[in-house]
Amino acid sequence: MSLRSALLALITAGPMTGYDAAKRFAGSVGNIWYASDSQIYPELRKMEADGLLSTRPVPWGSKGTTKTEYTVTEDGKAALGDWVASPLTYTLERDPVRLRTAYLEWTDPATARQHFQEHIEHHSRVLQMAEEQIEEITRRTHPTLRRRLETYDDAEARRVVEFKLMAYRGVCARSQAEIDWAEECLGTLQAL
């Protein structure tokens, strides 16, 4: 249900075409829940069939063609609210980084160091992205957030902003912990 819920949350900011949803997804909620365009478009159609989204044709181009614009229905809003209120479920852990680390004796020290350096580089990029999102959220310059906040009074808008900040601060904390751990592992490798 998470892709569906992420799309519902995104489209509650206002009506958008599938193309708009895919592009905005990548630049907002896609930072914390990845989905490819090839997953998004079929899910939008399923959500429409399930009554969570309504559609209407909107003009596109100069030849009289149209695109489909999606809007969240009352059933869609209810489904999103139910999902947010439902208990969290945690999946069993599958951690390829820790699994590989547990068996580094099967490779040479240079390759082991490379794994940790790549881990640091990856999480440094994630950390930078999250910090940029925090800046846009704080300044309220992110286009999807600005559009969403137009529907709220000041007090509710502050809450919405804080919820987004909490999510991205969590991303920052997790990535910083991963960087710290990988740096510690590099130090341990050096001492071996």
Contact 123, 172 (CB under 8 A): no
List of residues 6+ apart from 9 with CB closer than 8 A: 29, 80
Q: Are residues 103 and 169 in the same domain?
A: yes
Least confident range from 58-62, 109-113, 154-158, 172-176: namely 58-62
CATH of the domain at 25: 1.10.10.10
Phi, psi of 100 (to 5 degrees): -65, -40
Q: Which of 63, 85, 107 is the last residue of a domain?
A: 85
* Number of domains within the chain: 2
56, 85, 114 - which closes a domain? 85
Q: Average the pLDDT over 124-134 and give the result.
A: 96
What would the pLDDT profile of 41-94 be if each residue is shown by its tens digit? 999 999 999 999 999 999 888 888 889 999 999 999 999 999 999 999 988 889
Inform me whether the pLDDT recorded for 165 exceeds 90. Answer: yes
Picking from 49, 64, 85, the residue at the C-terminal end of a domain is 85
Please check whether residue 90 lies inside any domain of the structure.
Answer: no
Q: In sequence order, what are the residues at sequence separation of 6 or more whose Cβ sits closer than 8 angstroms to the Cβ of residue 138?
A: 161, 165
Distance CA 123, CA 185 (A): 15
At residue 100, does pLDDT exceed 70? yes
Query: Does residue 1 surpass a pLDDT of 80?
Result: no
* 77 & 113 share domain: no
pLDDT bracket for residue 26 (50, 70, 90): confident
Q: Does residue 44 contact residue 70 with C-beta atoms inside 8 Å?
A: yes
What's the mean pLDDT in 147-158? Answer: 94
Stated pTM of the model: 0.87
Which helix (H) or strand (E) is 58 found in, with range?
strand 53-60
Tell whether 77 and 109 lie within a shared domain.
no
Q: What is the pLDDT of residue 28?
A: 86
Element at 72 (helix H, strand E): strand 65-72
Using CA atoms, how far apart are residues 122 and 130, in angstroms rounded to an integer? 12
Q: pLDDT, tens digit, for every residue of 105-118? A: 999 999 999 999 99
